[in-house]
Amino acid sequence: MKIFISADMEGISGVATNQQLKTNSEYQRFRKLMTQDVNAAIEGAFLGGATEVVVADGHGNMSNILIEELDPRARLISGSNRVMCQLEGLDDSFDGIMFVGHHGRENGSERTVISHSLAGICVNEIKINGRVVGETEMNAFVAGYYNVPAIFISGDDAYVNEVRKTLPHVEAAVVKRGIDRFAAELLHPIKAHELIKEKAKKAVQKAKQCPPLKIGGPVTFEIEFKGPNQATMTTTLPTVTLIGPRTITFTCDDIVTAYKHMWGCVIIAMTATNGVLGHVNAS
């Protein structure tokens, strides 16, 4: 029983504001809490019957988890240059995927804590075949390509409600109640870790009964960016069409190819936010 964990930071226990993830002293605290949430999921997975666990750090520069404090039974994928972003390392050898510390999408619930879609600096909305998706649903579609079911999520209550519209069968650990985008009612981390462990164990135990989330090809992405500069620069890829001042579209044969294409567009858009090569010659 091989389990893949995609770990983000906005939805971990204790997080309520963006500054907690950006101010260095606070960020160092929450790196530890992120590692502890992931450890709780790893422990639960092994209690549920997992024999192998791989964790992909998926927040920011994707190197937040403290390897020296990670459960030694798991392996960690860390670092930012990844073709498959939050899913680097996932393939058809896995029996289930867990999303630890994830969050709601941009323009979703007004209560979802630190909501955004993959890159808050540039992405306003992502649609797949006309359907608005958040990160978890998009990643679950990719996992489905490999016949890997999404079995567990943790985060705030509004995020859980959002995801369950697409993935009603997932086990969910609600570690906070969203009040506002930058406010939450928090469980104590000890209680949150107990809940994550319990739900992760249950998720692995019933993993073989969970259906993968499938989407057939061709797959069309529509991405609305926050600025026209971001959208326009993605059209340096000849497969991308500008359909509005801030909106692009492209079509690929399958969801994995489309996901890579999406990630390439987002990388370009992030770079274009303040002008491509804008930092060159700056002192």
Q: Which of the residues are catalytic?
A: 116
Residue with tokens 């164990």: 201
CA-to-CA separations, 254 to 10, 128, 132, 181, in angstroms, rounded: 29, 11, 18, 34
Q: How many CA atoms lie within 13 A of 176 on its CB side?
A: 30
Q: How many CA atoms lie within 13 A of 279 on its CB side?
A: 3
CA 220 to chain centre: 20
Give the sign of the dihedral formed by CA 174, CA 175, CA 180, CA 185: positive
Give the sign of the dihedral formed by CA 203, CA 204, CA 206, CA 208: positive
**How many whole angstroms separate alpha carbon 150 and alpha carbon 232?**
34
**How many whole angstroms separate alpha carbon 197 and alpha carbon 99?**
13
- Cβ atoms of 33 and 21 closer than 8 Å: no
**How many whole angstroms separate alpha carbon 211 and alpha carbon 96?**
10
Beta strands per DSSP E along the chain: 2-7, 52-57, 74-77, 96-100, 123-128, 131-133, 150-156, 171-180, 183-186, 219-225, 241-242, 247-252
Lookup: tokens for 152: 């567990």
